[in-house]
Amino acid sequence: MGLLYGEMTVRHDPLQRLREICLALPEATEKETWGEATFRVRDKIFATCGGDGPPSLCCKAPAGAQEVLVASQPERFFRPAYVGHRGWVGVRLQTPVDWDQIADLVEESYRMTAPKRLLAGLS
């Protein structure tokens, strides 16, 4: 039995759902590093899932987006350790999760990381 979030039924744990989103992108791969799942394109990390406590996503964000997201919803978004100073944003993957928003954040991070020729296949 899945839980309904918006129009999407989620039948997986947060890591499994995040894995489906990340690995659907061209040439995306998963590799465990530092005890957590990292998602890469051409061996460059564009997203991670892990953290102490409840699962969370960390991904690249456009300039200024981290500050806006954290200020607007501090219960959901945070400045992650180690990469937060580079503009990455953290998202707590606790229920309810807006998986459409997560997919948008992951795709934006992927676009900031992937070579331009791989981006041609994205709409």
- How far apart CA 52 and CA 54 sit, in angstroms, is 7
Share of the chain above pLDDT 90, in %: 72
**Cβ pair 70, 63 in contact under 8 A:** no
What is the domain partition of the chain in residue ranges?
A: 18-113
Q: What is the mean pLDDT of residues 76-104?
A: 93
Which CATH number, 3.40.50.300, 3.40.50.12280, 3.90.1150.30, 3.40.50.1980, labels domain 18-113?
A: 3.90.1150.30
Three-state secondary-structure class, residue 33: strand
d(CA 75, CA 97): 12
Taking CA atoms, 10 is separated from 13, 24, 106, in Å, by 8, 16, 17
The answer to whether the beta carbons of residues 13 and 53 sit under 8 Å apart is: no
* Coil vs helix vs strand at 120: coil
The conformation of residue 84, written as its DSSP 8-state character, comes to: G
The pTM of this model reads: 0.86
9 pLDDT above the threshold of 50: no
- At 51 the pLDDT is 65
Cβ neighbours of residue 117 under 8 Å, at least 6 residues apart? none
Beta-bridged to residue 57, according to DSSP, are: 49, 91
**Average pLDDT score over residue span 89-103:** 92
